[in-house]
Chain A
Amino acid sequence: MIPARLRRQLELVDWDFSEHLPGTSKTVHWYPGTFPADIPTTIIQALSKPDDIVFDPYGGTGTTGLEAIRQARRAVLVEANPVGCLAAYTAGGALLLKALRAELPKLLCEQVRQVVGRLQSRRSVQLAIDTDAGASQLIDAYLDQLISPRPQEFNEQFAWPMVRSNLADWIEAATLHEISDLLEAFNDPQVGYFVRLLGKTMISAILRPASSQTQSWGHIADNVWPKTFVRKDPFKLGHQWLSRFESIVGQTAVAPLRSANVGTRLWVSLHNWSETTRLPASDFSTARLLVTSPPYAGAIDYTLAQRLSFYAFGFTEGDLGNLWRLEFGARRKRNQPHSLEMWAEELAMALELQLGRMCESGFAAFVLPHKDEGRDIGTQIMDECLNSLGWEKAFEVDRSIRQIRARQSWTSIKRETIHIFAK
């Protein structure tokens, strides 16, 4: 169980986090339904030690992983959404580089900036690659030791040709042409793998502002095409995103790694928990702490919200259909009969697999909808599953989901509860 001193301090925390804690990370890619970094960072500080493995089975863009890495823990992130995985991988890699040597993220961003800059000025990319080949190889060499899978392997998942015809329904023609050029530049085999991945994260992140659909991501999820097309500047958007990325990494407080020979610090695995025959990230030993917020039933269409990115990375409509049908609690499923029960059962089934990756005396923290938010069946079934496997509830607290930035409440969920279990 949780020691008395720790419990007192968990009770003292204002879990609404109306103001962010200093040094915490920010997400590098827009993504609906993320929780503030203050939640995992606090739980990680409380319930783990440096070098412990922190596991998030619904990793999203990697918030839990980033908070673990920056506090010298190791992180295992599993996520069914390839875009989430990509963002988590590149952000996590950047923080690991910073942990190794403070100047490496700047070097990394400079590599990407040069590719963009040369394309923008219509000069040859080749020259840039020759002079900076050493830098990007160095980055890959470091990350080969620190991240699983290695950048080369991870990049293979994002090397498919763009489905241009689908994107043409959303993005003005000249803009799309430039985006296509950018993507090609970041598929160039002469560019280092991690630099390519960062470039692709950038492209993915700017697709929404580059599109002519200026309303919310929900309109993209609901396939509401823009009525008029507006020319956008992807290079400018790319530079802006890079500046923001660099700023985020710069302002995130990261504990230094003592040397490069410290073994894998981050695992990122693309995996849907409905697939029971294969375990994700199978090369890590047991985790000490699980911190996650599973998708809430009927709240968000994670797959469809990112459709532009999926088209860019070669996913067809058919592929998208396969993905969202497997997505736990997808909003699109909310009107299906027994959708809530199905969601709860999916979570419980996955939970059993997830808890199998935990060490004998660990902690598991879940952020779930408050019991009055119409989804309590999920919490109940998870409680039963945890209890049956010897986990006891050690702490519980309600919090508000900040509404200040929510222009439109797609979820209408305003309260959630943090549950911490101990074994």
Chain B
Amino acid sequence: MLSARRSWDPLYGRVDLTDFEYGLLKLSEVQRLRYVRMCNINSLLVTGASEISRFEHTIGVLHLTKHWCDINGIPASVARDIVAAAVLHDMQTGPFGHSMQYVLEDNEIDSSFVHEDLSHGWRSTYHQLILAGASFAGKPFSASSYLGSNWESVAQIIRGEGRYGPLIAGTMDLDNIDNVVRLAFHVGITEDDDRSIPLVLARQLTVEDGELVLPTAATATVERWQAIRRRLYELLLLDWAEFSAKAMLTRAIERAAQHQIIGADSWVRTDAEFLEYLEKNAIGDAQDVRDLVRRLRCADLYEPVLLAASPAVEAYAKLNSIQAKQELESILLNRAGIRGVRVLTHFILDKAKTDRAVSFRSRENGVRKAIGRNSRQLLCGMFVSSSPSEAERRALSIAYAALLRERGVADLRPLDDPMGIPSPRQQELI
């Protein structure tokens, strides 16, 4: 057949598709994911992570899920639901991964936005007041009519519920098994053998009573997966340009939401559409949003003044609202005695982000194993709109640290460069 149903995946090679699976991939809500990147920002300096689409990842999860169903002898009718959940699990991801989602969830903007709850999204027509808005490229979203009476059971799996929910929405599920290795592969931090990790794990893991079960022999594979994950997230969270760009994008989203230029309904836009929309509509009082977007687009990033970590994770909720940050920034500039620049503060709650423990039950003896540990730190970044002098930098750093201490954030530890120090040869070139 000339129009063969297959795909070539960077990790898994040839992925064959049934007509049902191909139909799922062609749904407009899935096709939209070709234009939504996996990462929360279009990375400037970790270029391998910048452009990977969620669609590529969706095919990867589909492939792993099919393998898992096959190995575990899942009946075809049930396997269809699990595969559909695998394809649709990222269906409601907004532009730039979770960037918009975090702003909406952390602040009281519009009605509550729940990323993974498809049923919630469906009942409110995907957060659109108008059905016609629930579409991509002129094609209405149609997963529910495609799945018919199976829609609710698929949604349940995506929410992590039921017998098969943990397969798609657990601590180490098929979704993040693929996610980690795929991104790491593109970023260039995997070894050749690492590409097989997702399939090895998919073949070995099972889910019993909501718990992950693996053979003891899989421990080494899990540890390697964790190591890759750790390295990947160090780059993605701790690189200064990533941090700065996220700060800028988050602020643009926050300000756009404050001006009602965007809301929960805006999740349907793709990354490019989102930036274009912000640029076009953020005028007048909201022109700072346009400035941020334009600077992001051409790498005119805010300069980092202080990038640090603190154990005070409990302070995140109070620190991270739009109002709290704006107040902090205003006081910061006054205290540092600096005029003529804009300052941005950005906080990342690193709870099991840079490092994540994996628990599973041993298949042989039922003993629970916990591998690794969850990271637990508050990442604090402060950035300025133009390069400060050394004196200004010092003044800002001191004022910032003091302000954070007043807000319960102490024991700040400067972040190391995740790309390490240059080699002697590179030093010569610099």
Q: Which residues does A use to contact B, with CB under 8 Å?
A: 4-6, 8-10, 12-14, 16-19, 21-22, 38, 41-42, 45-46
Contacts and interface: CB of A to CB of B under 8 A. Distances in A.
Contact of A45 (B129, B260, B262, B266): B129
B139 A18 contact: yes
B132 A5 contact: no
A17 B138 contact: yes
Nearest to A13: B132
Contacts of B263: 4-5, 8
Contacts of B142: 22
Nearest to B129: A9
Contacts of B260: 4-5, 8
A220 B133 CA distance: 40
A8 B140 contact: no
Contact of B138 (A8, A14, A46): A14
- Interface secondary structure of A, over-half rule: helix
B129 A42 contact: no
A38 B269 CA distance: 21
A409 to B, nearest CB: 22
Interface in B262-300: 262-263, 265-266, 268-269
Interface residues on B, range: 20 to 34
Contact of B130 (A9, A17, A19): A9
Nearest to A15: B132
Contacts, number: 64
A14 B262 contact: no
Contact of A12 (B139, B145, B261, B268): B268
B133 A13 contact: yes
B261 A17 contact: no
A42 B138 contact: no
A19 B265 contact: no
Interface string B130-170: 11110101111010010000000000000000000000000
Nearest to B144: A22
A13 B131 CA distance: 9
Interface of B: 110, 128-133, 135, 137-140, 142, 145, 260-263, 265-266, 268-269
A8 B131 contact: no
A13 B338 CA distance: 45
Interface centre among A5, A18, A19 (most CB of B within 10 A): A5
Contact of B262 (A8, A10, A22, A41): A8
Contacts of B131: 21-22, 41-42, 45
Nearest to A20: B140
Nearest to B139: A19
Given A18-B138, A19-B140, A21-B140, A10 B265 contact: no
B94 to A, nearest CB: 13
Contacts of B130: 6, 9-10, 13, 42, 45-46
A9 B124 CA distance: 14
A38 B137 CA distance: 15
A19 B139 CA distance: 6
B392 to A, nearest CB: 38
Contacts of B266: 8, 12
Contacts of A46: 129-130
